[in-house]
Structure 1
Amino acid sequence: MSDKYLTLSELNLEGKLLGFVGGESGKYKYLQLSIPSGNVEIKLSKDLRRSLSSSLVPGQQIRVCGYSKLDSRTSEIKIKAYQVTPVDGCQNQGLSPQTKPRIMVCQKGGCLKRGGKGLLSELEKTLCDRGLLDKVTIEHTSCQKCCGSAPNCVLQLGKKKYKNIHPEAIASLLESHLTE
C-alpha cells in the first residue's frame, strides 16, 4: 500500500503575507503568501499556528521554509511550512524582534466559577500598580484543558511558560524579565 502524499522537495519562499485562514482565531491552519508567480496557500505546522498569528501582520514581507508534497490521487501540490521569519531591510537579520510578554487567562465556565474573574481583575490591578500593564498583552482564552487546577493563567516570557502563578509572582517575573 502506498502513501497518498509523495514528498517532492524542500523550499524557501519569500513574499508578502496576505493573511491567515482556516481554524479559529489564534490557531489558523494556513497562511496566504503573495509571490511573483501568484498567491499560494501554505499549511502551518502545529507549533507555528499560535505564535505566528500574533507576531505577523498582513502586508509584511516574510520568508517561509517548508516542503512540498504531491497528492498522488489528485496530482495537487501542497506546501507545509516548518519555519516562518519576517524579512527586514536591516542588517540585523540574526536578531529576532522582541515580542511583548503574554498572559493568557482562561475565561470559560469552569475557570470563571472558580475565581477566574477575580484573578483577572487582581492581575490587572497588580500590573497597573507597578506600571506594567502597557508592557504586557493580556489575552482572554478559551479552555486551556487544565480544569482541575482552575482558574488557569499562563505567563509566556519568550519561549518560557509559567502556569498557575499568583498575580504578585507574575508582576515580579515581568519586572525581572523586562530589566534584563
Structure 2
Amino acid sequence: MKKSKKQVSTFVLEGRFLDASGKSPLKPKYLRLATAEGEQLLKLSKELRPLLTENQLPVGTWITVSGKETYKPKEGKRKRKISSIEAHDPVAVTPSPQPKSAKKESKKEKILVCQKSSCCKRGGKAVYQAAMETVEKHQLSEQVQVKATGCMGKCKKGPCLVMQGDKSRHLGLKPEQVRELIAQQYSVLIG
C-alpha cells in the first residue's frame, strides 16, 4: 500500500519560553518551549528571528506560538515552523508586517572588503579595520554596514573593497585612502 504525500496543517502551542538557539547567539534559528507535552524545539520564521536577538522575550515568559506543521508519513517526520509568537505578558512579540517598500528603505548600504589570504597579505585586514573605525567614528552605522567577504577575483590587485551604494570597486587601497573614500561617499568631514 502506498503512503500519502506530506500533510500541511496549522498548530498552536502554549508554554514557557526557555531559550533561542542557532549557530551563533546573534542568529537564533530555533526556539525551545516547555509545554504540557514536554520540551519542544521549534524552527523560527525569518521575520521572528530578529526579535529574539534583541532580547525582547525574557526567559520564562508564558507564550503562545502558532505556525505551520508539515508531516511526512513516508519518513514519519513532523516539522513545525513558528510564524507568530504572542506573549501572555503585556509585551506583544508579534512583528508588524511592513510594506515591501519600507523594507527596502531600511536596508543598510554595504561596504564589502575581501578577507581572503591574498588580499590580507596586501593589507586587507588593515583596510577592513579602517573601514569599521571610520563608520563608527562618523556614526554611520545606522546606514552603512562593513562586511568581510570571500574572494572577489582581483587577488593580484588587492586589497579589494566594493561600495555597494554606487557600485564602485577600489583596488590596492591603503587604510588612509579608505577613510577619505568613506568620508567622501557619505559626505562627512575628516577630523
* TM-score category (smaller protein): 0.5 to 0.7
Q: Which of 143, 149, 155 is equivalent to 2:147? A: 143
Q: CA RMSD in A?
A: 4.4
Q: Is the 8 A contact 1:44 1:82 kept in 2?
A: yes
Residue 85 (structure 2) pairs with residue 71 (structure 1): no
User: Which residue number corresponds to residue 118 of structure 1?
Assistant: 134
Cα distance, 1:86 vs. partner?
A: 2.0
For normalisation by structure 2, the TM-score amounts to: 0.51
- Secondary structure (helix, strand or coil) at the match of 1:79 reads strand
1:30-45 map, 5 Å:
30-45=30-45
Distance 2:110 2:13 in 1: 36
Q: Is the 8 A contact 1:114 1:150 kept in 2?
A: no
- Secondary structure (helix, strand or coil) at the match of 1:65 reads strand
1:157-172 map, 5 Å:
none
> What are structure 1's unaligned runs of at least 5 residues?
97-103, 125-137, 152-163, 168-180
1:79-118 map, 5 Å:
79-88=80-89, 90=90, 109=113, 112=128, 115-118=131-134
Cα distance, 1:165 vs. partner?
A: 6.8
- Secondary structure (helix, strand or coil) at the match of 1:29 reads strand
Cα deviation 1:111-143 (Å, max 9, x = unaligned): 83563212213329xxxxxxxxxxxxx9xx883
Cα distance, 1:16 vs. partner?
A: 0.8
Q: Is the 8 A contact 1:6 1:71 kept in 2?
A: yes
Distance 1:142 1:85 in 2: 34
Q: Which amino acid aligns with 2:75?
A: T
Q: Is the 8 A contact 2:21 2:30 kept in 1?
A: yes
- 4+ residue stretches of structure 1 with deviation over 4 A? 92-96, 104-111, 164-167
Distance 2:25 2:109 in 1: 16
Cα distance, 1:75 vs. partner?
A: 1.2
Cα distance, 1:87 vs. partner?
A: 1.8
Distance 1:165 1:42 in 2: 42
Cα distance, 1:30 vs. partner?
A: 0.9
User: Which residue number corresponds to residue 19 of structure 1?
Assistant: 19
> What are structure 2's unaligned runs of at least 5 residues?
96-107, 115-126, 150-160, 166-184
Q: Is the 8 A contact 2:111 2:164 kept in 1?
A: no
Cα distance, 1:44 vs. partner?
A: 0.9
Residue 7 (structure 2) pairs with residue 6 (structure 1): yes
User: Which residue number corresponds to residue 51 of structure 1?
Assistant: 51
User: Which residue number corresponds to residue 133 of structure 1?
Assistant: none
Q: Which moved more, 1:17-26 or 1:27-36?
A: 17-26
Q: Is the 8 A contact 1:106 1:144 kept in 2?
A: no
- Secondary structure (helix, strand or coil) at the match of 1:59 reads coil
Q: Is the 8 A contact 2:86 2:92 kept in 1?
A: no
Distance 1:51 1:26 in 2: 11
- Give identity over the alignment, percent: 22
